[in-house]
Amino acid sequence: MEEIKNKIYQRLTEAFPEITEHKLDFPYNRLDVKIPKNKVPAILFYLKDEMGFKHLVHITCVDWIEEEKFELIFIVWSPKEKVKVFVRTELDRNNPVMDNIDMIWRQANTYERELREMFGIQFEGLVAPKEFILEDWDDIPPMRRDFDTEAYAKKRFFERPGREDAKDVRQTIAERTGESLPDFAKKYSR
């Protein structure tokens, strides 16, 4: 497997000298490369048409809030070599704009819609309805790390108050009905 990975990596670096980082010591059949964002459609075209990586597994995003970056990861799979290639690229967090790639794989359209809604990444030239899963969303995109989901839930939804005594529920019931707790229940109660 190491030989195949090395061979793929060499072919990629020959065609794309812009590759900045790489990891070959990923477990088993994964190969990881990093490339500037304007070269992403080119490398994906190359992987698909020249090297047999026919299947787009996933497009996902990591929010590096401390470094003010979004990291997009395109995962492609070759059924012939049985190798996954992770193509990583970095976007500016304050202005996340990316090229649309759904002319390479049609299913990329769905992933891009999801990223647009959950992270607020704009794909240039993406033709799709405005909403994907959320309806009438009026806050910052919910999968960003600066979105406080607990505060939002407290603000928006009703809450049922808990019991005031905050004791073991068996104890409360036993006191209410005037019974004593059985021994096996005492063992586990706080």
Contacting positions for another protein (CB under 8 A): 133-136, 138-139, 142, 147, 149-150, 152-153, 156-160, 162
Which CB sits closer to another protein, 128 or 143?
Answer: 143
Which CB sits closer to another protein, 26 or 152?
Answer: 152
Which CB sits closer to another protein, 131 or 179?
Answer: 131
Which CB sits closer to another protein, 16 or 132?
Answer: 132
As a whole number of angstroms, the distance between CA 146 and CA 154 comes to 16
Neighbouring CB atoms inside 10 A of 158's CB total 5
Minimum distance, C-beta of residue 142 to another protein, in the bound complex (Å): 5
Which CB sits closer to another protein, 45 or 152?
Answer: 152
Minimum distance, C-beta of residue 94 to another protein, in the bound complex (Å): 23
Minimum distance, C-beta of residue 138 to another protein, in the bound complex (Å): 8
Minimum distance, C-beta of residue 110 to another protein, in the bound complex (Å): 18
Minimum distance, C-beta of residue 18 to another protein, in the bound complex (Å): 38
Nearby residues of 101 by Cβ (< 8 Å), 6 or more positions away: 40, 41, 44, 74, 108, 112
As a whole number of angstroms, the distance between CA 145 and CA 120 comes to 12
Which CB sits closer to another protein, 127 or 133?
Answer: 133
As a whole number of angstroms, the distance between CA 135 and CA 122 comes to 18
Nearby residues of 12 by Cβ (< 8 Å), 6 or more positions away: 19, 33, 43, 46, 47, 85
Nearby residues of 121 by Cβ (< 8 Å), 6 or more positions away: 61, 70, 72, 91, 96, 97, 98, 115
Minimum distance, C-beta of residue 68 to another protein, in the bound complex (Å): 23
Reduce the DSSP state of residue 19 to 3 states and report it. Answer: coil
